[in-house]
Amino acid sequence: MEKLFRYEKDLVDTFITNYFDKKNKISLRELPIRWGNIDIAFILGNKKVPFNSKQIEALLKPSNAKIFMKIKKNRPISEKTLFNDLGISKNTFFNCIHTLISLNLIIKDEKDNYIRNIDYEFPKVKIFGYEAKLTDYNKAFYQACINKNYVDYSYIVFPMDAAIKIKEIHSDILEENNIGLIGVDRKKSKILIKATKNQNIKSYIKFITLMQYAEIKESTI
């Protein structure tokens, strides 16, 4: 029996074409949000951000993102309160504060409290991650589990014949781990197991994912 896809790239190309492109949805390949990258990512919702390239570059750093997300536009926060629970050193904290102030992302008011200097509220977006493999279920499952730290919905993607077998054997463990399964053939891509939303993703991680998307989109303009 002839294989549906000879190479993983063929699987990815076909999946993107018949799952995203036909619906005018813009996906991203190799999203560098974690070590090893996420094969394919898609963000549903308002992806526009009011940041310039230098601001985006700074906000891609976890410590900067943590601090920025903790500071609000109309709610001044003291230095002590801001520093608590960040899990970073004081030296890192003050370096980050200096960076964020120098880029006009935050300001220090007359009472030495910090406020956000840019009108931005994190949009209501859903982030999807997809790991595509021809045959290696164990590796795909492992990577999809890791992806749950960075996306709302995590999927594994396989050629249709392999996906059907995976569903028969591994449906319970996939559902227990909130991981979805998609089968792909030359004409269509079909969700065989629907992913359920990951409730544990941290807000600053989701913010960094959005910044990664913004950086990649800006570089392609």
Question: Edge-to-edge, what's the strand order for the sheet holding 27-31?
Answer: 27-31, 38-44, 126-132, 153-159, 179-184, 189-193
CA dihedral sign, ordered 58, 60, 61, 67: positive
**CATH code for 8-28+36-46+124-193?**
3.40.1350
- pLDDT value of residue 210: 85
Residue spans in the chain of domains classed CATH 1.10.10: 53-122
Judged against a pLDDT cut of 70, whether residue 217 lies above it is answered with no
The type of residue at 153 is Y
Judged against a pLDDT cut of 70, whether residue 103 lies above it is answered with yes
* Integer CA distances (angstroms), 201 to 70, 76, 126, 134, 206, in order: 16, 25, 11, 28, 7
Which is more confidently placed, 98 or 42?
98
H-state helical runs in 48-159 = 53-59, 62-70, 79-83, 90-102, 137-147
Tell me how crowded residue 195 is: count the other CB atoms within 10 A of its CB.
25
Judged against a pLDDT cut of 80, whether residue 221 lies above it is answered with no
- pLDDT value of residue 220: 46
**Structure tokens given for 56:** 């985006």
- pLDDT value of residue 1: 47
**CATH code for 53-122?**
1.10.10
Question: What integer is the mean pLDDT of 93-121?
Answer: 92
Model confidence over 131-186: pLDDT tens digits? 999 999 999 999 999 999 889 999 999 999 999 999 999 999 999 999 999 999 98
Model confidence over 34-88: pLDDT tens digits? 666 788 888 887 777 889 989 999 999 989 999 999 998 888 999 999 998 788 8
Cβ atoms of residues 150 and 34 within 8 Å: yes
- pLDDT value of residue 35: 62
**Structure tokens given for 85:** 């629970």
Q: Which residues contact 20 (CB under 8 A, 6 or more apart)?
A: 26, 27, 42
Predicted TM-score (pTM) of this structure: 0.81
**Structure tokens given for 184:** 């792909």
Residue spans in the chain of domains classed CATH 3.40.1350: 8-28+36-46+124-193
Q: What number of CA atoms fall less than 13 Å from residue 25's CA on the CB side?
A: 18
Compute the CA torsion angle 138, 141, 143, 146 (nearest 10 deg). Answer: -130
Q: Which residues contact 192 (CB under 8 A, 6 or more apart)?
A: 163, 164, 167, 181, 182, 183
Q: Counting Cβ atoms within 10 Å, is residue 79 exposed (0-12), middle (13-18) or buried (19+)?
A: middle
